[in-house]
Structure 1
Amino acid sequence: MARRALILVEGHTRGNGLLYVQAAKRLGLHPITLSADPAQYSYLAAEKVEAIRVDTDNFNALIDECSRLRMAYDIAGITGFSGPDESVYVTVGKLCQYFDLPGPNPASIERCFDKFVQRQLLAKADVAIPAYRVAANATEVESSAAEIGLPVILKPAVGSGSSGVRLCRNFDELAEHTTYLLGGKHIWPCSPRILVEGFAQGPFYCAQIMGNEVIGIETTDWGNPPHFVCRATTFPALLTDDEHERIADVSLSCLRALGLGWGPACIEFRWTTLGPVVIEVNPRLAGAPDPQLVRLAYGIDVITEHTKLVIGDEWNLRRRRSHTAAARYLVPDRDGTLDWIAGGSRAAAVSGVAEVKLYVEPKAPIIRKGDYRDCIGHVVAASPTLARTEAILQRAVDLIDWSITPSDACRTGTAQVAPDNR
């Protein structure tokens, strides 16, 4: 009998890729990664994962490679990881359709990744979203902002990780960021289109979903505007029953409006004076360490359960415990060269700390982008209560220090931790 294989299209450099490989092995599957550059995923060699170099932007090449693999393996399922333009997950859906395997609807995924199209569909379904316009040039950006009213958020219509997203509080900031987006500094995966949105103010929440079931809701602190760099995430969020129910109800409305409901999704909200306003629907699993937070808090391994769904097995989202898990991100306060970073092992030894991960090595250049790439590491902790989890994190993060030499002088920076986001 041929060995059952799980095909992984591309990988993930900061956690989820390794977790999928490990989940596949636990389920008795042979993971195979297809990537344009397998060397960029260090865990492949460490885990001795079979990796095949293939142009993952070439759908026919992927079909040929999967067809070849079917001669040696029983391909149980195909999944993958979204890149900066989110196109990989669309390709995954198409491959699943081609080989008659369980998978997401690629048309729904593609509509969702175009933020302008997504907003049109949500608005048609009467889902509360910020006022929005789409613009292709500076004149249209300015007129759109004037119609909506400042402050506004400018963001690429296609993209992820808060790349190119900025709050513009006046027309000078609007012009500056428009020039950045359209002047060649921002890398566009497609023709440039800018989404101009009203600024929804209030606490930030994200619903973690599998299928049509809301697993739980987390809260995130994005730090100080104008950029959006994640500083802290807590799961589950401290919500009233009514707040939780309203967010869950709107989440399911989003799935219906966008034709989703298979596999993972994460839906972002701001809780405004009018209640929950949808910021974005992501038709995929949230990035690391969010899946770890769900596992630590509720005992639900969403990556393993998603893998079961991918291969057509029965999956289970039953909660096994009720703890609070949280992550704090290490964010430098300057550009320069990282001289050293220390204290990770001491932080990991703190009771209640589940993970300490540093993304950079000494001598690495630090060039802040105002998005997810600004983070140089994270610390994750869990305990039965929110207060205890926060105390554990604070103790651990206080043990981590680093030094960055800027171009003009040598100064020492320490871990920047967001205040308690309750």
Structure 2
Amino acid sequence: MARRALILLEGSRYNGPLYIQAAPLLGLHPITLSADPARYDYLASEGIEAIRVDTDNLDALIRECSRLRGTYDIAGITCAGDPFYATVGKLCRYFDLPGPNPTSIERCCDKFTQRQLLAEAGVPIPAYRLATNATDVESSAAEIGLPVILKPAVGSGSRGVRLCRTVDELAEHTTYLLGGKHIWRSSPRILVEGYAQGPYYAADIMGNEVIAISGGNFGPPPHFVYREFIYPAALTDDEQERIADISLSCLRALGLGWGPTGIEFRWTQRGPVVIEVNPRLGGGTGPQLVQQAYGIDLITEHIKLVVGEEWNLRRRHSQTAAVRFLIPDRDGTLDQIGGESRAAAVPGVAEVKLYIEPKTPIVRKGDPRDCIGYVIAASPTHARTEAILQRAVDLIDWSITPFPTLSEHGRPEAP
């Protein structure tokens, strides 16, 4: 009998290893298809089969999967992130496997189209306009009123997203997005969006069921770099119900409801406003936090759905789980970093992860790629979990030497 395989399209720093680890426990052999497998260091460290293929080329992917079917029983195809999730849907339809609706995914991943569909359905969203040049951006911002958010109409991971509070900041970020520094996967299209101010919440959904609602906060503007998430969010039952109801309205408006969805909110003066709908599991450490808080393994349950098995989304316990991301406060060279073993030994700490090693250059980008590690903790109460996190984070220390600056004569000066 041929070995059952799970095909993973590309990977991710956060959730990629979790899919790789969960697959064998379900009797599946994970195989990653990637345009550059070397960019995912966990593939080599785990000894995972990886095949180089142009993942932007659907025909090439069909040929590779057809070739693999000569050796394996392909039980399912999926991915850990949203840039390739529509392609996953197309492959699943071609090979008659369970999968998401690719048309719905494509519409959702185009942030402008997503806004149009949500607005038509009466879902509360910020004011928005689409711009393709600097003049459009300027006029759109004037219509909406500063401050505004500028973001690529297609993209993920908060890349290229910035709060613009003044005309000068607006012009600066427009130049960045259109001047060749931002990498576009398609023709440049910018979403200009009103700034929805208020506490941040996120809903984790599987199928048509809201599994969890978390609260989060960010570092200082103008960027949106996550600092902390906590499950469950500090909401009343009525507030949770409002977010859950709007979440299900989003699914209906966008034709989603198969597999995972992550929806981001700001609770404004007019109540919860949808910031973004992502047709995938919540990014970052969401799956680990849901497992710590409720005992639900979202990765495993998603894989079960992908291979046509019955999933189980029942809560097994209820705790407060939180993550604190480690974010450098300057650019430069990392001199040293340590203390992870001391932090991991703190009672209540579930996981400590460091991504970088000494002598690594650090150039902050103003998005989640700035994260150099994280700590996850869980306990019966919010206050205790926060205290555990703080104690553990305080045990991790690092130092960064700023890059030398050039003097007026072009020679490096001492930092």
- Structure 1 length normalisation: TM-score? 0.95
Alpha-carbon distance, 1:46 to partner: 2.6
Give the C-alpha shift of residue 382 in structure 1: 0.6
The answer as to 2:195 corresponding to 1:236 is no
For 1:54, the equivalent position in structure 2 comes to 53
Alignment partners' CA distance in 1, 2:244 and 2:344: 34
Q: Which residue of 2 aligns with 1:174?
A: 170
User: Aligned residues: percent identity?
Assistant: 77
Distance (whole Å) between structure 2 residues aligned to residue 410 and residue 285 of structure 1? 45
- Answering whether residue 231 of structure 2 is matched by residue 260 of structure 1, we say no
CA distance in 1: counterparts of 2:38 and 2:221, whole angstroms: 35
Task: State yes or no: 1:302 paired with 2:301.
Answer: no
Distance 1:71 1:164 in 2: 42
**1:223, 1:395 → 2: CA distance?**
20
Q: Could you tell me whether the CA contact under 8 Å between 2:129 and 2:192 is conserved in 1?
A: yes
- Residue 374 of structure 2 corresponds to 378
* Contact kept in structure 1, 2:201 and 2:266, CA below 8 Å: yes
- Offset at 1:410? 8.0
Q: Is the 8 A contact 2:19 2:80 kept in 1?
A: no
Matching residue of 1:414: none
Question: What is the 5 A alignment of 1:83-162?
Answer: 86-162=82-158
Is residue 2:220 matched to residue 1:221? no
The residue identity in structure 1 corresponding to 2:76 is G
Task: Report matched runs for 1:49-88 at 5 Å.
Answer: 49-82=48-81, 86-88=82-84
2:363 counterpart (349, 360, 367): 367
Q: 1:329 aligns with which of 322, 325, 350?
A: 325
Partner of 2:203: 207
- SS where residue 231 of structure 1 aligns? strand
Give the Cα–Cα distance (whole angstroms) in 2 for the partners of residues 331 and 15 of structure 1.
16
Q: Which residue of 2 aligns with 1:39?
A: 38
Residue 182 of structure 1: CA displacement? 0.9
Residue 71 of structure 1 and its aligned partner are, at CA, apart by 1.5
Cα deviation, 1:282-319, whole Å, max 9, x if unaligned, reads 00112231100000000000000000000000001000
CA distance in 1, matches of 2:170, 2:39: 36
Residue 407 of structure 1 corresponds to 403
CA distance in 2, matches of 1:44, 1:131: 42
Q: Counterparts of 1:331 and 1:260 in 2: how far apart (Å)?
A: 34
Find the residue that maps to 1:116 and give its secondary structure.
helix
Q: What is the match of residue 409 of structure 2?
A: none
After TM superposition, give the deviation of residue 48 of structure 1 in Å.
Answer: 2.3
State the partner residue of 1:5: 5
Secondary structure of 1:119's match? helix
Task: Confirm or deny: 8 A CA contact 2:328 2:372 kept in the other structure.
Answer: yes
What is the one-letter code of the residue matched to 1:321?
H
**Given that residues 83 and 155 in structure 2 are in contact (C-alpha distance below 8 angstroms), is that contact kept between their aligned partners in structure 1?**
no
Cross-structure match for 2:410: none
User: Quick check: 1:184 aligned with 2:183?
Assistant: no
Over the aligned positions, Cα root-mean-square deviation in angstroms equals 1.2
The whole-number CA distance in structure 2 between the counterparts of 1:190 and 1:217 is 33
Partner of 2:345: 349
Residue 398 of structure 1 is matched in structure 2 by 394
SS in 1 for 2:261: strand
CA distance in 2, matches of 1:179, 1:33: 37
Structure 1 residues 248 and 410 mapped into 2: Cα distance closer, same or farther (>3 Å)? Answer: farther
In the alignment, what sits opposite 2:161?
A: 165
**Structure 1 unaligned spans of 5+:** 412-422
Residue of structure 2 equivalent to 1:291 = 287
- 1:134 Cα deviation from its structure 2 partner: 0.6
Give the 4+ runs in structure 1 shifted more than 6 A: none
Give the structure 2 partner of residue 419 of structure 1: none
8 Å CA contact retained: 1:156, 1:194:
yes
C-alpha deviations, 1:88-147, integer Å up to 9, x for none?
111111000100100001110011111000000000001000000011111111111111
Q: What secondary structure, in the 3-state scheme, does the structure 2 residue paired with 1:354 have?
A: strand
Cα distance in 1, alignment partners of residues 363 and 348 from structure 2: 32
**TM-superposition CA deviations, 1:354-381 (whole Å, max 9, x none):** 1111111111111111111111111111
Q: Distance in 1 between matches of 2:174 and 2:304?
A: 44
Distance 2:238 2:338 in 1: 44
Question: 1:404 touches 1:410 (CA, 8 Å); kept in 2?
Answer: no
Q: Deviation digits for residues 188-222 of structure 1, max 9, x if unmatched?
A: 11111111111101000000000000001011101
Residue identity in the other structure for 2:72: Y
C-alpha contact 1:358 1:378 (8 A) present in aligned 2: yes
Q: State the shift of 1:66 in Å.
A: 0.8
Secondary structure of 2:38's partner? helix
TM-score normalized by the length of structure 2? 0.96
